[in-house]
Structure 1
Amino acid sequence: MSTSPSRRTARAVAALLAASLFLTACGGDEAGATLELSAALPDQVPSGTQLRIGDPSIQAVVQASGLDKELTGAGVRVEWANISGGPQSIQAFRADKLDCSAVADIPSLFAAWTGTSTKIVFQSVTVDPLKYPVYQLGVAPGVHVASLADLRGKKIAYSAGQAQGALVLRVLQKAGLTRKDVTLVELTSTGDSYVTALGGKAVDVAPLGAQNVKIYQAKYPGGGAVPTGIRDDASTLYCLTKSVQDAEKAAALKVYVGVRTKALLWQNEHPEEFAKAYYQDSQGLSPADAKQVVALSGRKGIPASWDNAVTRLQETADLLATEQDHEKLDVTTLVDRRFEKVQTAAAGSQVVTGDAA
């Protein structure tokens, strides 16, 4: 008995659909099943799951402390990348060469504004942020800046897509100055570019991290540095959204965030070991300078809640939207708060509460 053309067509379509579903399922197993952003983070990591992470200081701590064994023991394989800062990480994200990177708060905003979807999965703070600022204002040799008011008329290094750029805008705001009162010199802060610009007097003022202040003053003895008086301790780990949506990588990230929390707390308790492992062995500082940079950095803390960090991020986003003509942005879309509980669980009683958080 012959089969009608319509039935043959229906059977053929069904067979194709079944084959398609089978291939999709196989492909999903190879690439990692998709995890909804509202779903619970998986507990089991398929052995050998790889994370590509740019987190140089934590890499040094994890290896010096032996915490790398917790990663491998949980089935997580980290491919470390010598990448930090917004421009490098966003470029690597776009090339699909990186899953996560350690940055301040600004890169997540610029990633969103330039079409790269990311999620913040880690927040840390400085326990006494105004006493231990991340940045000071480096001052070129022969230039007088004793207070923020002295910034009027000065040439200031400025990088729109980095934390240093946002800090400059906040400093001007605090000083009662506008962009018209100074000359902002577009200059990406990579390596010692700000140090060189100050030493060569291409700019009068530039935000310098604690490490670079030491390098700058050693290289250019006539150079100075003044405090900003502004909280600047935002510190995050942000990841490609598609990496967080990969169930295997999400499970590995859950482990990594817990280990990263322990690494920061270990760093607090072992300042000399941290100074040697990162600033001396990795960054090339002398033993004395490495110890001094760590002492100037203060203790790091894990906030009991991300509420304050998200509020500060929104304030920064609003300022940059106004000053740099960006679209308004709801920063809650950039934060994956499932990892908040992972951090606090790993930190236990050592979480930071109150204004410092």
Structure 2
Amino acid sequence: MTRRTLIAGAPAVAALSLAACSEEAGGPVLAADAALPADVPEGTVLVVGDPQNQIAYELSGLVKELPFEVEWANISGGPKTAEAFRAKSLDIGSVADIPPIHTNWTGLPTKIVAASYRVDPLEHPIYDLGVAPGVDVTTLEDLAGKRIAYSPGQAQGALILRVLDAAGLTQDDVELVELPSTADTYSNALAGGEVDVAPIGDSQVRSYLNKYGADGATTIPHGIRDDPWLLYTPVDVLEDADKAAAIAAYVKLWGAARLWTRANKDAWINAWYVEHEGLSYEDGEYLFERQGEPDFPADWTEGIARHQETIEIVAEGTGNDVLDADDLYDRRFEPLVAEGIDEYGEAGAP
């Protein structure tokens, strides 16, 4: 079995490189209410955009347990995965909770097939609110009248709408500055005085304070649960019985691979943060501790209820229709992560 990593300098390159894989003749049609196939036919190929977990699968040895040919795509985040889905060049992607909402709003039906969270989400948030040098913001109420970075269709944008709601503010009380939340865009916008406040994620928080703290840059906690991390896939991919079987096999090992990273701290920090991300070991250790322990519920009911609350806030803020959160999840996959953890634990492949 061969597995190739496709490193894309731009989403378009990735889409062109992967198109042939995803457009091959598919398997039998699988109805949405049919049981997932138990076996993956020989020759099945799955194109996976899950860069961090690619490393986890490889280090743990669990990649050897995948009963299909996996094509790893260096694609992550809502806009890039949606673009690749539309190009028929990606089968499954790893994102937060907003991209599956946005794709369904924009005519691309997708389903969530795996869900993870953080054990202590308020102590281990994904985002902090970055505050520009010289700007006085110490509480959520201080956001009134401020220029806030906003990215529609991404988790950061939804977080801002939820933060405003929690602070008793509306969009009319602030100035939302639309910016793509890619790489260091938000940190640079803060440092350059383009915005007063922006949500900055795990990897940006430390670097932002290191670079600009002496100039007066600060961060504050937002106090809202922001921890969902999901796998999702286009509905038409799930209608291919062979790919659905392969996705089930991938999902089953997803939690075990993540737990392996927590049980093998030094190996994971060196492989992901140092070698892949180019950070120092100390920065990698900071991010490792910031993320905390992952949680993989065998019952998605509570997570779906929280997702519904998010949908309603974001729908009101964007003028979109309110979706039924339960419709975004394919609950045939619900027990699989727990089954994989029971089988493999945190030890990796046998």
TM beyond 0.5: yes
Q: Which amino acid aligns with 1:54?
A: G
User: Mean Cα displacement is larger for which, 269-278 or 132-141?
Assistant: 269-278
Q: Tell me, yes or no, if structure 1 residue 158 matches structure 2 residue 150.
A: yes
1:43-122 equivalence runs, <5 A: 43-71=38-66, 74=67, 76-122=68-114
Larger radius of gyration: 1
Distance 1:267 1:301 in 2: 13
Q: Tell me, yes or no, if structure 1 residue 307 matches structure 2 residue 301.
A: yes
Q: Deviations over 1:178-218 (max 9, x none)?
A: 11111100011011111111111111111011111122223
- The CA deviation at 1:30 is 4.0
Q: Tell me, yes or no, if structure 1 residue 191 matches structure 2 residue 183.
A: yes
Q: 2:170 aligns with which of 178, 201, 211?
A: 178
- The CA deviation at 1:116 is 0.3
Q: Deviations over 1:317-357 (max 9, x none)?
A: 11111111001211222110111111121123999xxxxxx
| Aligned counterpart, 1:18 | none
Q: Deviations over 1:275-308 (max 9, x none)?
A: 2222221111111001101101100011121001
Ranges in structure 1 where 5+ consecutive residues have no aligned partner: 1-28, 352-357
Identity %: 48
Q: TM-score scaled by structure 1?
A: 0.87
Matched-pair contact (CA < 8 Å) for 2:253–2:341: no
Matched-pair contact (CA < 8 Å) for 1:264–1:301: no
Matched-pair contact (CA < 8 Å) for 1:302–1:350: no
Q: Tell me, yes or no, if structure 1 residue 41 matches structure 2 residue 33.
A: no
Q: 2:325 aligns with which of 302, 326, 331?
A: 331
- The alignment partner of 1:285 has SS state of coil
User: Mean Cα displacement is larger for which, 342-351 or 244-253?
Assistant: 342-351
| Aligned counterpart, 1:22 | none
Q: Which amino acid aligns with 1:237?
A: L
Distance 2:25 2:101 in 1: 32
Q: Which amino acid aligns with 2:233?
A: C
Give every structure 1 segment of 4 or more consecutive aligned residues whose post-TM-superposition deviation is greater than 6 Å: none
Q: Which amino acid aligns with 1:305?
A: D
**How many aligned residue pairs are there?**
320
| Aligned counterpart, 1:286 | 280
| Aligned counterpart, 1:238 | 232
Q: TM-score scaled by structure 2?
A: 0.88
Distance 1:53 1:323 in 2: 32
- The CA deviation at 1:126 is 0.2
1:18-33 equivalence runs, <5 A: 30-33=25-28
- The alignment partner of 2:276 has SS state of coil
| Aligned counterpart, 2:212 | 220
Distance 1:179 1:196 in 2: 23
Q: 1:168 aligns with which of 160, 164, 179?
A: 160
